[in-house]
Amino acid sequence: MVGVFGRSLSFPNKTTNRPSKPISHHIRSISLPCRSHPLISQLKDEITELKTWSFNPDKRTSAWLCDGLNHLKDVHDALHDILQLPQTHELLSHKREWVEKLLEDFLCFVDVYGIFQTSFLALKEEQLAAWMALRRNDYSKIAMYLKGRKKMAKEIAKLVSSLRCSGRYSFPGSGLVSIADTELAGVISNVIEVTVSVSQALFNGISKSFTSRKSSWMGLKFSKKAKKFKIEESIKEFQNIGEANMWGLRKKGDEEVRMVLKRMQDLERCIADVESGSEKAFRSLINTRVSLLNTLTN
């Protein structure tokens, strides 16, 4: 906010003997920015780490996904702590309309992660059933597994579009908002932004890993760049068990079948890790939304 400064104008041949009046300064307006609250500094650090994670696409593995989910949980845990501060309650109580939009975003986050949890649990069960069927040489159930996986990939892909409307509004600032308030509003907006980006990376990575990549004349029309982008978005362990690996196992040798079984075991562990990480992030999102809601009701 622009401060109010006393101006002194000189005119030749005119003097005044009036006593000077005390100059009124709005100290809050023109003072140098104060140091950030330790919790806000911590949240900024967590956001920076999460952004660094998102800019590292060369390690698209399940461990990379779990790392992102853990960082996301840390970000929302830090925001949850900030929402308990009295000064946060003071700011948000006067910005009810903005908080209501934040609540809509967090409701969207909770919904999509709830759907993701349900879909991933179904995948986990189908994965185990397919592994057991393959061990018994029951190849008929492999087709059912691949069909179910495709359906799940489509459902998860829809979650990406559900997130695109999040965060499309700005903090309703005014001349009466302090630097500290602006900083607080800024980090909350950044939390929304990184939550969307991490969630999109998670959902895109898994859905594209399970999308059929069979070659076709239609597929040849896509540019090499588009194909490369699609492959880079995929998650390594999920991509290792593609349709090409599963179809025709009946005609393959024992060694190839054993290799597929081992990859399916590895994938099962990866699924369990991602499920655990997304569950923790899901609970953290719920806690943050409850804290936001409390700023309006308390």
Going residue by residue through the chain (298 aa), what tens digit of pLDDT does each one get? 434 444 444 444 544 454 444 444 443 333 334 567 889 999 999 999 998 887 776 678 889 999 999 999 999 999 999 999 998 888 888 888 889 999 999 999 999 999 999 998 888 888 888 888 888 878 778 888 888 888 888 999 999 988 887 766 666 665 446 777 788 888 999 999 999 989 998 899 888 888 755 433 333 333 444 344 344 578 888 877 766 666 666 666 778 888 888 888 888 899 999 999 999 999 999 999 999 999 888 7
**Calpha distance 240→243 (Å, rounded):** 9
Q: What is the DSSP letter of 219?
A: G
Residue written as tokens 């992030």? 281
Q: Is 184 within 8 Å of 91 (Cβ atoms)?
A: yes
Q: For residue 183, give every residue at least 6 positions away whose Cβ sits within 8 Å of its Cβ, in sequence order, or none.
A: 33, 36, 40
Q: What letters, b where the CB count within 10 A reaches 16 and e where it falls short, cover 155-192?
A: bbbebbeebeebbeeebeeeeebbebbebbbebbebbb
- Full-model pTM: 0.76
Q: Where are the domains of the chain?
A: 42-50+60-168+179-293
**Calpha distance 195→278 (Å, rounded):** 12
Alpha helices in the chain (DSSP H): 27-30, 38-54, 62-82, 86-93, 96-135, 140-162, 179-209, 224-233, 236-239, 243-246, 254-297
**Calpha distance 108→223 (Å, rounded):** 34
Give the residue among 124, 162, 143 at the shortest CA–CA distance from 274.
124
